[in-house]
């Protein structure tokens, strides 16, 4: 899922009908109160974060509506309730419709760090992290088994990934309609675009590593999970951009572990990405799913040892699919609410339209959720396979690099026939060259030519060619890709303020009151129709909106901006009404600091753009975590004296 993205960028699945919406995105995200009972809704100061399963993670995409209600407990067993319906349903349990903004299509966000979707043959590396997994051996199917894996989670996952692409696997075919290298905002892909490839049977699982050299943290943080993904890339010899471009790493935690506080926050898994010296790396945080009943265990009433592992199909498949369609959250495919391809179809009851089902692969039968198909405008378990060009070359981002400093820019081509690829480039600044075998552009440039257009070409053994171009400026800058796609969900508030179980989502901004996000004609929006109006409550209560920003390892700066119109009748110079932007930690909600304050005193009429640097606040908790951002107004009189009008917010990271 997604995530802010994001949302939350990591993206994830939330407890199924055990928890309320909250996620790409990345789903996600938002600060949550600790000690919440697993499987029950938790309070979140803001949405956003890696795409947690609901299917987001903090910062990957925003907390996605997990089409789920709180479960009831009977005799110590958690009994899931049927998913809620939404538009066009009536909102009652079991009405058979999706509660995940069913009618909103997916749109392409333009790519992040040269990645929009994974275009090469899908590859998964499974990492059993920590000595808690015990020692390894091999079973009769050739799977790695671990002595510290009482429920057999590791071989189950291996069989699932080995089986993709076999026995008429229609589920994988749904993903092939999505592509990259097209205009941002597009909803359909032309035939000549670089599509996600249908997997070859037996080829998806690329490697398994039981990393038992030391114990994994009992409650690993997002940066620690990212570090393990980077260690896995090195372990498997994937040390270039091209080698990591179309692979994902699943970081499996052992029984009893609490990675990224999954039990307290209330999600099942999430996916995210990070910048490393090996290029951008996409990875999934996969807790030990049987530890929480709401994450799919015996979801179909089997009450069997194999049924206990249902979550590794439902949720593991969810995160795998979202990593293919949105590897560098939120640069791939999401809808207007920040949900990814799997979020929109999460936890629909088996037997309902678009509901959970069993897919029979050559390696066994696995429970899966459906995936959103833009082509059909439905949640689908199968679709025709869409094929793109045999040879594709990923779009490369425009960059700014520092003169006199080493440059390392990776190109990534994919050939569906498996043929070897060679690279060449034109327009390279003096001092830079491209490695014909790896596609890595390296060297040191004097930076005397300013912006230059560089064209990279790829050629396979069959003589097929592909090319892409990007701009590079080596006259200054910190180095790396220029600002990527918008990190906020609904930055202009145009999704409105209706309840999430009906037509649109509000939890992208967590308004303190129903009318805070409004199309009221009493004031004007900066653009569109909707805006946020803080300062309506007088001194009786502060008004606020809040959202979350997922941050990524390897990034160095973040900026937040919005347009502010301060309309005030408070002329007091000593007791003005105020607006504050406050940053909070994701994990425990503690305040990181007041980013900036505004007041009614001396305010300018009309919308004025405000921009702040979030970097010092992110550095307090470390890149790779999610921070919450809260805009709160305070009125000094019982009669509202100042309207703080906010519109067209934006957040970008570099």
pLDDT tens digits for range 423-471:
999 999 888 999 999 898 999 887 666 788 999 999 998 899 999 988 8
**Residue 437, Ramachandran bin (φ over 0: left; ψ between -120 and 50: alpha; else beta):** alpha
pLDDT of the residue at 277: 87
Q: How far apart (Å, rounded) are the C-alpha atoms in residues 125 and 131?
A: 18
Which part of the chain is CATH 2.60.120.200? Answer: 517-653
In 3-state terms, what secondary structure has residue 472?
strand
Residue 13 pLDDT grade (very low, low, confident, very high; cuts 50, 70, 90) = low
The pLDDT value given to residue 534: 96
Mean pLDDT of 561-582: 93
Based on the number of CB atoms within 10 Å of its own CB, is 515 exposed (0-12), middle (13-18) or buried (19 or more)? exposed
Residue 114 has pLDDT above 70, yes or no: yes
Q: pLDDT above 90 covers what percent of the chain?
A: 54
Phi, psi of 173, rounded to the nearest 5 degrees? -65, -30
The residue-averaged pLDDT of 400-427 equals: 87
User: What token pair was written down for 155?
Assistant: 């071989």
Residue 9 has pLDDT above 60, yes or no: no
Question: Phi first, then psi: what are they for 73, rounded to 5°?
Answer: -110, 130
**Max avg pLDDT among 96-105, 184-193, 318-327, 510-519:** 318-327
Does residue 595 register a pLDDT over 90?
yes
Going by their DSSP bridges, the two strands 279-286 and 247-252 should be labelled as: parallel
DSSP 150: T
At 78 the pLDDT is 25
Query: Mind listing the pLDDT tens digit for each residue in 602-631?
Result: 888 899 999 999 999 999 998 888 899 999
> What interhelical angle do 310-325 and 153-163 show, nearest 10?
50
Pick the more confident residue, 343 or 63: 343
CA pair distance 316, 155, nearest whole angstrom: 13
Question: What is the rounded distance in angstroms from the CA atom of residue 559 to the CA atom of residue 150?
Answer: 46
| % of residues, the chain, pLDDT over 70 | 81
CB atoms within 10 A of CB 459: 20
Q: In what order do the strands lie in the sheet with 465-473?
A: 399-400, 465-473, 451-460, 421-426
Highest mean pLDDT among 105-109, 285-289, 393-397, 496-500: 285-289
CATH superfamily assigned to domain 398-473: Immunoglobulins (2.60.40.10)
What would the mean pLDDT of 231-247 be, rounded to a whole number?
93
Terminal-to-terminal C-alpha distance of the chain: 22
Mean pLDDT across the stretch 228-255?
95
Q: What is the dihedral of CA 209, 215, 217, 223, to 10 degrees?
A: -40
- Name the CA dihedral angle for 226, 229, 234, 236, rounded to a multiple of 10 degrees: -170
166 CB-side CA count, 13 A? 18
Extended beta strands in 353-420, E state: 357-361, 364-368, 371-373, 378-380, 391-393, 399-400, 406-410, 413-415
Q: Residue 494 and residue 104: Cα distance in Å, rounded?
A: 13
Strand partners of residue 144: 138
Q: Helix, strand, or coil here: 247?
A: strand
Locate CATH 2.60.40.10 in the chain.
398-473
| 468, β-bridge pairs | 456
pLDDT confidence band for 12 (50 / 70 / 90): low
Q: So what's the pLDDT on residue 14?
A: 55
Q: Name which of 503, 196, 225 is nearest 333 in CA terms.
A: 196
Q: Which two tokens stand for residue 120?
A: 């090469």
- Please tell me the least confidently modeled range out of 44-48, 121-125, 404-408: 44-48
- Give the contacts of 303 (CB within 8 A, at least 6 positions apart): none
Using 50, 70 and 90 to split pLDDT, how confident is the model at 29?
A: very low
Query: Encoding tokens for residue 115?
Result: 């990645």
Cα angle, residue 257 at apex, residues 252 and 258 outer, rounded to 5° = 100
Q: Is the pLDDT of residue 76 over 70?
A: no
Q: Span 96-102, mean pLDDT?
A: 44
Query: What pTM did the predictor assign?
Result: 0.81
Is 38 in contact with 62 (CB distance < 8 Å)?
no
CA distance 359 to 165: 11
162-183: pLDDT as tens digits: 999 998 899 999 999 999 989 8
Domain 517-653 matching CATH 2.60.120.200: the answer reads: yes
User: Quick one: tokens of 392?
Assistant: 């594709």
294-317 pLDDT per residue, tens: 899 999 889 999 999 999 999 999
Whole-number Å distance between alpha carbons of 90 and 512: 26
Select the more confidently predicted residue: 321 or 42. 321
- The yes-or-no verdict on residue 31 having pLDDT over 70 is no
């Amino acid at each position: 899922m997604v995530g802010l993205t994001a949302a939350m960028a990591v993206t994830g699945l939330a407890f199924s009908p055990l928890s309320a919406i909250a996620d790409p995105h990345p789903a996600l995200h938002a600060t949550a109160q600790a000690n919440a009972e697993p499987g029950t809704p938790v309070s979140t100061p803001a949405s956003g974060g890696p795409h947690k399963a609901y299917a987001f993670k903090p910062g990957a995409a925003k907390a996605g509506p997990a089409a789920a209600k709180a479960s009831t407990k009977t005799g110590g067993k958690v009994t899931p309730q049927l998913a809620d319906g939404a538009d066009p349903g009536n909102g009652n349990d079991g009405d058979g419709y999706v509660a995940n903004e069913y009618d909103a299509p997916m749109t392409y966000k333009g790519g992040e760090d040269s990645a929009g979707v994974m275009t090469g043959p899908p590859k998964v590396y499974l990492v059993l992290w920590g000595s808690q997994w015990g020692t390894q051996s091999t079973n009769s199917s050739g799977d790695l088994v671990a002595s510290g894996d009482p429920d057999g989670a590791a071989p189950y996952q291996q069989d699932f990934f080995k089986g993709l692409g076999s026995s008429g696997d229609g589920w994988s075919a749904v993903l092939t309609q999505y592509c990259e290298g097209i205009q941002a905002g597009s909803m359909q892909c032309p035939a000549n675009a670089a599509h996600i490839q249908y997997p070859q049977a037996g080829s998806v699982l690329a490697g398994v590593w039981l990393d038992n050299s030391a114990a994994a943290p009992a409650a690993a943080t997002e940066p620690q999970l990212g570090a393990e993904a980077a260690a896995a890339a090195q372990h498997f010899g994937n040390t270039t951009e091209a080698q990591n471009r179309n692979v994902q790493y699943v970081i499996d935690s052992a029984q009893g572990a609490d990675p990224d506080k999954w039990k307290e926050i209330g999600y099942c898994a999430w996916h995210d990405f990070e910048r490393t010296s090996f290029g951008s790396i996409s990875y999934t945080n996969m807790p030990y799913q049987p530890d929480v009943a709401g994450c799919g265990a015996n979801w179909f009433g089997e009450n069997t040892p194999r049924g206990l592992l249902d979550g590794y199909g439902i949720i593991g498949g969810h995160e795998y699919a979202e990593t293919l369609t949105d590897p560098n959250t939120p640069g791939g495919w999401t809808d207007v609410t920040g949900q990814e391809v799997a979020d929109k179809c999460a936890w629909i009851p088996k037997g309902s339209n678009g509901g959970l089902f069993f897919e029979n692969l050559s390696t066994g039968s696995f429970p899966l959720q459906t995936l959103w198909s833009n082509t059909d405008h439905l949640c689908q378990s199968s679709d025709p396979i869409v094929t793109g060009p045999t040879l594709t070359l990923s779009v490369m981002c425009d960059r700014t690099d520092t003169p006199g400093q080493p440059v390392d820019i990776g190109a990534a081509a994919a050939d569906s026939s498996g043929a070897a690829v060679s690279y060449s480039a034109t327009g390279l600044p003096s001092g830079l060259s491209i490695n014909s075998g790896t596609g890595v552009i390296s060297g040191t440039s004097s930076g005397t030519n300013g912006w230059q257009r560089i064209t990279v070409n790829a050629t396979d053994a069959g003589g097929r060619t592909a090319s892409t171009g990007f701009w590079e400026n080596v006259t200054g800058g910190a180095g790396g890709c220029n600002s990527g796609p918008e990190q906020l969900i609904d930055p202009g508030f145009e999704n409105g303020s209706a309840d999430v179980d009906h037509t649109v989502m509000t939890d992208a901004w967590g308004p303190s009151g129903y009318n805070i996000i409004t199309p009221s004609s009493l004031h004007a929006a900066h653009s569109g129709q909707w805006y946020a109006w803080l300062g309506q409550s007088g001194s009786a209560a502060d008004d606020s909106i809040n959202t979350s920003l997922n941050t990524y390892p390897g990034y160095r700066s973040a900026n937040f901006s919005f347009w502010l119109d301060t309309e005030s009748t408070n002329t007091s110079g000593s007791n003005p009404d105020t607006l504050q932007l406050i940053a909070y930690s994701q994990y425990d909600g503690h305040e990181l600091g007041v980013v900036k304050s505004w007041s009614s005193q001396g305010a300018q009429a009309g919308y004025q753009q405000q921009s702040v640097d979030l970097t010092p606040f992110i550095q307090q908790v470390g890149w790779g975590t999610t921070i919450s951002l809260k805009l709160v107004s305070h009125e000094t009189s019982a009669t509202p004296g100042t309207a703080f009008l906010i519109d067209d917010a934006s957040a970008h990271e570099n």
